[in-house]
Structure 1
């Protein structure tokens, strides 16, 4: 009997919302990497995946020149690692090696156990940090799965598993989109625009992040029409937030860029990286795990007068056109081997969709008095400080300090480009 040819749809739906609200009594200082968790199992995942994140970033910038870039490296990596549980032979090897793992040094069980620890760490509840990542499998009703695959995705990746009728494409599409919308608090909508009736499995990984600055901005001093340089075109005008405070700051003379670190309440920081004019490409091609470590070691707390735009950006990507260029070939063609998922049907990945939303804004009236007081006192002090204008394209990284995982990575090319 000829095996039925079905398709696997890999969806990553995610969002990040950053809110500026009153600080807590706990200090916001500290370095990017806390020493207490450097040897955690989850960090084994992030060390190799950081370079994967930057390689994927470069591919996305080439595909979308002149546009904003925003995606979640940890979400994409987790989705692919979870899918690799059902892959065999070269299909499995390509996925794991592309994620940055040396399979001769790190056995596959250790990789999945490290992802298990990573997911557990990211989902630890915190009143100061809203962070949730999860996975779900929507499976064709008549698909006979390998019991070991279902058990592993549930145990290691905490994935929910649902049966669905893919022959009714409209209903299936609505059900999956509703699930992603709910899990991302309404931020990610319509992640699927079409479904093939031959779809066998849809894998969804979603991540939601909402955090509060430890040192918030004062909304009353935001300049609502500040010029932002966009390439060679006329500048656009954006709301520009402003404050004077102590932040982690460093300069990279090799790459001609400034690095600003701002802490969230909870175990997360944001890195804003501003290249000198005309040096963005040089910066992008030099991004690496070792460069990120170098920055974290050189940051020092300094008085900074900072201007950062208030913005909301989003991006959607068809990763099935990008991942093969990064070494993941077989999963998307006739050579795919997903016999670890089911032996009775031939599967390949037909779609790998990824959508991200990023909001950075200020809110909370309680923040006004404290921040205004600080701004007034600092200016009267007359203390010298560095002035940093993010009034041209810059990079942004949101990092979980408990695991060193890059939660979000992007480039703000035009803050008015939704």
Structure 2
């Protein structure tokens, strides 16, 4: 969305850092693909509640380019609110309460502080709630099971448990086990358990190709599964991450956002992300929001394999129709919220 209003090197850095090669096709194709993806993901379904959206909070006095406004509304179905930034605390409250409402109270206090020169805040939010196709029986959940954090430390966690037929694979190359559990609708959770000491290797190997490889390796089999019941939350400022990825000019005096406004010099000041994820017997509830701020300068059955997620693992929520990764995270300590 931000790249729609960026120009020159600022635009190139944003798109290239996100893995888009502009020599392979026009920029318009990228935005049209996102438009299509958002529409596909928003298709209503009974078994799945997936709400996502984008919103721009813009300083009343800021003169925006009509083309930029038209494009964010048309391509990203973004809402645009005129905002009074003269009181940063009032503006912050307005933005946070909007995000909290849109994520059903899951993401609170996304914006911790606003600088006095802020003229625009861009927020993306997503809320996901779904029920397992094969839910766990809460009666089988063990209230206090050991989960290894660090090399020798364990914490006690509620451990969900069931014997059922699931898609499962072992990846000998990456020394990890992959369990796919389906939700109603077209969404699935991938639980990936690395061998002892192999987490870093697994993280470095994550890619679209690796995901496709796992999808091909997966086979249905009877499993006895132990998965912690947990609720986790993570917040991060993405400025340092984006700088490392190559998005540099957007944050300094070289910024060119003249596609957003010609009357003021804009630069990025803050990019905040917060995700919340609950995994329980009946299903999953997840919410995430990212805010980008711009500154103006001026049981019994067949024989089965036992799979225990009792040490750190990766978790991916994937929309199978589009192969879009909705959430990606590492569960290191299920007791930490």
TM-score by length of 2: 0.94
Relative to total residues, which structure has the larger strand share, 1 or 2? Answer: 2
Would you say how many aligned residue pairs link Structure 1 and Structure 2? 322
| CA offsets 1:264-285 (integer angstroms, 9 cap, x no match) | 0001000000011111111111
Give the Å deviation of 1:170.
1.1
Tell me which of 144, 156, 159 is aligned to 1:240: 159
- What is the match of residue 404 of structure 1? 323
Q: Secondary structure at the match of 1:106?
A: coil
Tell me what 2:309 maps to: 390
- Match of residue 102 from structure 2: 183
1:87-108 residue CA offsets vs partner (Å, 9 max, x unmatched): 0011111111111111001210
**Aligned match of 2:204:** 285
| Residues 131, 282 of structure 2: 8 Å contact kept | no
Q: Given the alignment, which residue of 146, 171, 177 partners 2:65?
A: 146
The Cα offsets for residues 161-214 of structure 1, whole Å up to 9 and x where unpaired, read as 010011111110110000000000000000111111210100010000000000
Q: Is there any run of 5+ residues in structure 1 with no aligned partner, and where?
A: 1-81, 365-374
Residues 85-96 of structure 1: matches in 2 within 5 Å?
A: 85-96=4-15
User: In the TM superposition, what is the alpha-carbon distance from 1:155 to its structure 2 partner?
Assistant: 0.4
The normalised TM-score by structure 1 is 0.76
Residue equivalent to 2:226: 307
Aligned partner (choices 96, 103, 119) of residue 38 of structure 2: 119
Residue equivalent to 2:52: 133
Correspondence for 1:164: 83
SS in 1 for 2:136: coil
Bigger relative contact order (CA 8 A; separation at least 6): 1
Q: What is the Cα deviation at residue 232 of structure 1?
A: 2.2
Match of 1:106 in 2: 25
SS at match of 2:265: strand
1:234-383 maps to which residues of 2 (within 5 A)?
Answer: 234-363=153-282, 375=299, 379=300, 381=301, 383=302
Deviation at 1:233, TM superposition (A): 4.1
Note if contact 2:170-2:178 (Cα within 8 Å) is conserved in structure 1. Answer: yes
Aligned mates of 1:194, 1:279 — CA distance in 2: 38
Deviation at 1:363, TM superposition (A): 4.4
Residue equivalent to 1:8: none
| Partner secondary structure for residue 327 of structure 2 | strand
Alpha-carbon distance in 1 for matches of 2:88, 2:20: 37
- Residues of 2 paired with 1:161 and 1:244: CA distance? 49
Structure 1, residues 43-84: CA drift from partner, whole Å, max 9, x if none? xxxxxxxxxxxxxxxxxxxxxxxxxxxxxxxxxxxxxxx010
Distance 1:291 1:363 in 2: 28
Rounded to whole Å, the distance in 2 between the matches of 1:133 and 1:181 is 13
Change (3 A) 1:363 1:118: closer
Which protein is richer in helix relative to its size?
A: 1
Cα offset, 1:234, TM superposition: 2.1
Query: Match for residue 210 of structure 1?
Result: 129
Contact 2:56 2:121 in 1 (8 A): yes
**Within 1, Cα distance between the matches of 2:267 and 2:196?**
44
State the distance in 2 between where 1:363 and 1:100 align.
36
Does 1:200 find its partner at 2:119? Answer: yes
Partner of 1:15: none
Q: Hey, what's the Cα distance between the residues in 1 that align with 2:271 and 2:210?
A: 29
1:37 match: none
Deviation digits for residues 286-312 of structure 1 (CA, Å, limit 9, x no counterpart): 111111111111100011110000000
Gaps of 5+ in 2: 284-298
Query: Runs of at least 4 residues of structure 1 off by over 6 A?
Result: none
What SS is found at the alignment partner of 2:328?
A: strand
1:320-367 Cα offsets, whole Å, 9 max, x none, are 111010011111111110000001100011000000000001249xxx
